[in-house]
Amino acid sequence: MKALKTTLIILALLLVVLAVGVVWMLKNLDSFVLGAIEDTGSRLTGTAVTLDSVELDLAAGSATLKGLVIDNPPGYGTDYAFALDTVTVDLDPASVTGSVVRLDEVAVAGARLNAEQKGAATNLSTILKNVRAASGDEAPPADPEDPTDVRLSLSRFAFTDTKATLTTEQYGEASLRVPDVVRTGIGDPATGLTPAELARQLLEAVLKEAQDAVGGAFADRAKDAATEAAKDKLKDRLDLSDEDMDSAEGALKSLFKGD
């Protein structure tokens, strides 16, 4: 009887310790997620990734990330590459205890982007190169049958209304239009992706779209500069005033207007 009583007391103490541990873990879950995002992001981008806060509401199936910043690689002078004030995540609460956590949507609206050119590279192309290199260095994919491995699938990703600035060595600073990035069906809901794999796919999608926008904007600036240089050269050769040059340009436009 005494042995049984002692066993019950020990069992009760173990249950109390377990309960305290679960409560502590749940209260500190936000900080665990914050640290995981910063560590994974920094490893993938090859630069510092910082996050101000994470607010998780598993019962409601939502999460809010605030103050996410991706720094520039060494050698670039703007304050940062990306600054995301708020990232909202909707997830399926029932999937949290399963083998794959199903994210319904990750949405980013109004991010701020600094695209900076140095020689033949930009900060975005450098980060994209780092992401692709880190992907090759990743550990083998996690085992879907191992319950300790976190797997994720994402139904919809939306990166919209980006406010971007392009800074070039030759042409200075200008506003840049980056098209919205929307992707669906990322990761098999049955097997999922590791957090690093999912982050890589999302980063590549955004960086590729932004880098394409930079290339187009740079080409447009170069074309405009070449046109202006040709006009100045023609004006000097013909010894025309600015007014005469504007009149000649207007006459040519009217001639080829075709109406």
Polymer length of the chain: 259
Each domain of the chain, given as residue ranges in start order, spans 2-221, 225-255
More confident residue, 91 or 239: 91
DSSP bridge pairs for 159: 108, 181
Listed in order, strand segments (DSSP E) in the chain are 49-57, 62-70, 82-91, 101-109, 112-118, 121-122, 152-160, 163-168, 172-176, 181-186
Chain centre to alpha carbon of residue 111: 9
The confidence band for 98, taking pLDDT boundaries of 50, 70 and 90, is: confident
The confidence band for 67, taking pLDDT boundaries of 50, 70 and 90, is: very high
Q: Show Cβ contacts of residue 31 under 8 Å, excluding neighbours closer than 6 positions.
A: 54
pTM, full prediction: 0.72
DSSP bridge pairs for 108: 87, 159
DSSP bridge pairs for 166: 115, 174
Q: What is the pLDDT of residues 116-160, one digit of tens each?
A: 988 888 999 999 899 888 866 544 455 545 444 689 999 999 999
